[in-house]
Amino acid sequence: MSPEMLTLFMFGGLLVGLFMGHPLAFVLGGIAVLGAWLGPGAKILGTLINNIYGNAMDNYVLVAIPLFILMARFLNDSGVTEKMFEAMRLLLANLRGGLALTVVLVSVLLAATTGIVGASIAVMGMIALVPMLKYGYNKELSSGVIMASGCLGILIPPSIMLILMASYSPVSVGALFAGALVPGLLLGVMYALYVLIICHVKPSYGPLVPAEERAETSTRELLVMLAKYVLPPMSLILGVLGALFTGIATATEASAIGVTIAFLLFLIFGDRKASTCYRTLIDASKTTTMVMLVLVGATAFTGVFSRGGGMTVISDLVLAMPGGTTGALILMLFLVFLLGMFLDWTGIVLLSFPIMLPIIESMGIDVLWFVVMVAVVLQTSFLTPPFGYALFYLKGVAPKGVEIVDLYKAVIPFVALIVLACILMAFFPWLITGLPSILVGY
């Protein structure tokens, strides 16, 4: 089979398998086996096995993934998130749109402590959506801000997506964490500004919290709540990122520090039951297994694709784009956006990086800048239909009256804000490269 036909077969088969509802990991692995048989020959399967276990699974950086996942689970099961939301809600009670703004602020804190989108959206959906609708907030604004802010978990470090990206690129985890920090916070600021502006233009979208409810909590009680429930998660952020950026610990060692602090928070704020701890460990193991299975399948897929000449086909297509380097960049980022409608971020990273990064390096483009740009674009993979995971996470916990069509409408302005952020970073690349040059000497 020619390289062109192999490319069509493998990506076409990938889409067919996903539309049939099969798990991504097994679709990738199955297409790899069929592609090997039809393309370069079954003899390369032995080489692929050696590549999977000798390179992909033997990568020391990947040890940080299960540790950060476990950290997120301990923090989520500690119950501190709900109390943190209540403290922030009362703090911003006198501000129009304060509840929606609270969702953004708490989601940013969760993103910097958990890094798991499903957990953030589910938690915020359960503790924030009902009160927002109860107080008369616009349905689309309420849903959209929860979904968009919850997705920041894969961008703001520490993030398992950034760790996986670093393992498949020449960029270190520390540089990638530093490079993604400003874009992640920038998106959070843009979401907050959107909430403030839309609630100012249309006051009915974000009415104030009733004064009598705010009066029930004194200023002293509010300060105690902030110190008790906001500072501990901040200590987790500073412990992990501080150890990493100061060079005290590697990414893997920093993840171990994070697990230790999160476990202490679980002991302080959680129910401290052995059954809860057991469930936390099992949930973390399931998530880790899913990520690793996708990694194995994607490694096999890209290995067959490369040996069959598919990399050359894609490279020639990208380099033939009108507009030179700019046209090629736009095409690659647009392809990432399109893939986000059908695949989760794990599959997109593992499929696109082996193909795109050699092209980026050959064109002399800063790899760190490109990887972070891809990370920002991948925010949309959770929001865009038909397979936007954030849509289904929130629909699963939303009260009656919130339909899937409402959620589709809700994400439109936030997807536009993500695109605007990408444009800003294209014109001002120092938003990505500035902090790494200061913190890690990139």
Nearest-angstrom CA–CA distance, 14 and 25:
11
Closest by alpha carbon to 322, among 311, 331, 335?
Answer: 331
More reliable by pLDDT, 225 or 123: 225
Compute how many other C-beta atoms are within 10 angstroms of the C-beta atom of residue 54: 10
Nearest-angstrom CA–CA distance, 382 and 178:
23
Q: Say if residue 110's pLDDT is above 80.
A: no
At residue 424, the pLDDT reads 94
Average pLDDT over residues 3-30: 80
Nearest-angstrom CA–CA distance, 369 and 425:
9
Give tens-digit pLDDT for 154-163: 888 878 888 8
Contact 223, 249 (CB under 8 A): no
Residue identified by tokens 């990370």 is: 375
Peptide bond into 158 cis (omega under 30): yes
In percent, how much of the chain has pLDDT > 70?
A: 92
Q: Which two tokens stand for residue 8?
A: 């069509």
Q: Which two tokens stand for residue 40?
A: 């370069």
Nearest-angstrom CA–CA distance, 295 and 51:
12
At residue 58, the pLDDT reads 67
Give tens-digit pLDDT for 190-220: 999 999 999 999 988 888 777 777 777 787 8
Contact 27, 17 (CB under 8 A): yes
Q: Say if residue 413's pLDDT is above 90.
A: yes
Q: DSSP character for 210?
A: P
Q: Say if residue 61's pLDDT is above 70.
A: no
Give tens-digit pLDDT for 291-321: 777 777 777 887 787 777 776 777 677 667 6
Confidence of residue 419 (pLDDT cuts 50, 70, 90): very high
Contact 6, 35 (CB under 8 A): yes
Report angle CA 299, 34, 32 to the nearest 5 degrees.
5
Provide the residue type at 154 as one letter.
Answer: I
At residue 197, the pLDDT reads 93
Closest by alpha carbon to 225, among 89, 51, 83, 422?
Answer: 83
At residue 65, the pLDDT reads 75
At residue 364, the pLDDT reads 87
Contact 123, 153 (CB under 8 A): no
Q: Say if residue 93's pLDDT is above 80.
A: no
Instruction: Name the range with the highest mean pLDDT among 8-12, 89-93, 370-374.
Output: 370-374
Contacts of 286 (CB under 8 A, 6+ apart): none
DSSP string, 324-366: HHHHHHHHHHHHHHHHTTTS-HHHHHHHHHHHHHHHHHHTT--
Residue 354 to residues 94, 163, 324, 359, 371: CA-CA distances in angstroms?
A: 50, 16, 21, 9, 12
Give tens-digit pLDDT for 336-358: 888 887 777 877 887 788 888 98
At residue 246, the pLDDT reads 76
More reliable by pLDDT, 335 or 94: 335
Q: How far is CA 93 from the centre of its chain?
A: 29
At residue 180, the pLDDT reads 92
Provide the residue type at 379 as one letter.
Answer: Q
Nearest-angstrom CA–CA distance, 295 and 147:
26
Residue ranges of domains in the chain: 63-290+309-440
